[in-house]
Amino acid sequence: VELAGTLIFAGVADHMGDQSGAIHLVKNHQFDHAVLGEPTDMEVYVAHRGRYYFDISTIGLSAHTCHRGQAINAIEKMLPVIEEISRIEYVPSVAPEIAELVGEDLILAVGRIYGGLFPGGPSMIPDRCTIRVDTRPQPGVTVDEVQGLLEAAITRAQATDSEIKTELVLADRKDAFMVPRDAPVVRHTSAAWERIMHRPTVYSGGSWLADTASMGAFVETVIFGPGGDPVYQPNESLEITDIERACQINALTVAMALVPEMSDV
């Protein structure tokens, strides 16, 4: 079949890191449409949440354990901060379509903590403790909006203890993603999906992050593929019938986009 355009398959590296592979791809090549293969349980994903990492540090005063009274333990000062962050419940103002696709509530959690000295080190009370707060904002929720929630939580913790001194930095930002449903790639994928699955398209969105956080602003993209939760587990598997159907849907999507006589099918 002669295609009215170029079809490219790209396998990109660093998906779980800084997404440098996807970034390099879209910075060095131009695309009209993209289908990102992710385990979407055969649903057509048109949105996902972003990810803002915030590092919050408490600043104390170090001293030998024997001189505890002279120290300010940064780990102990972090505890009220963590407690206040864990109490955050927030429903941002987003469009009903976004809430339907990825959920109403802002998702956040303390995902990592650093504090104290290395194993085998001297007996010292730590003067610094850092937590990483993993936040998952919906499309349209800004860094400032989320950071304001964390700053308010810190202020509440400080109201209980005047010795709590903190620093807050945005450690990493990956943007949320949403593609219009009237985008050509969405229309083609939907038509192909309905042709193979014999029912109306199921649109959805993810709370997780995909390479579209880095490439979605450069090329209109649909996220679609076989498989779903649980992921990152031993003995993962895919249904063979889902693999076959996904291949058929992807092939038909390409045909509708690049074969002129198929464009109106």
Q: Give the dihedral sign, CA 144/89/135/41.
A: negative
Question: 108 phi and psi, to 5 degrees?
Answer: -155, 155
Nearest to 73 by CA among 86, 63, 87: 63
Q: At what angle do helices 143-158 and 74-86 cross, to 10 degrees?
A: 120
Place of tokens 């109306």: 200
Tokens of 169: 């930095």
Ramachandran area for residue 203 (φ above 0: left; ψ -120 to 50: alpha; else beta) = beta
The pLDDT value recorded for residue 32 is: 94
Digit-coded pLDDT (tens) for 54-90 = 999 999 999 999 999 999 999 999 999 999 999 999 9
Q: What is the pLDDT of residue 31?
A: 94
Whole-model pTM: value is 0.89
Dump pLDDT digits (tens) for 114-169: 998 776 667 899 999 999 999 999 999 999 999 999 999 999 999 999 999 999 99
Confidence of residue 231 (pLDDT cuts 50, 70, 90): confident
What domains lie within the chain, and their CATH numbers?
20-48+177-262 (3.40.630.10), 51-174 (3.30.70.360)
Distance CA 248, CA 260 (A): 18
Beta bridge partners of 44: 203
The two tokens of residue 27 are: 């910075």
Distance between CA 48 and CA 230 in Å, rounded?
A: 18
DSSP assignment of 45-67: EEEE--EEEEEEEEE-B-EEGGG
Query: Using alpha carbons only, what angle is made at residue 83 by residues 79 and 88, rounded to the nearest 5 degrees?
Result: 150
What's the one-letter identity of residue 254?
V
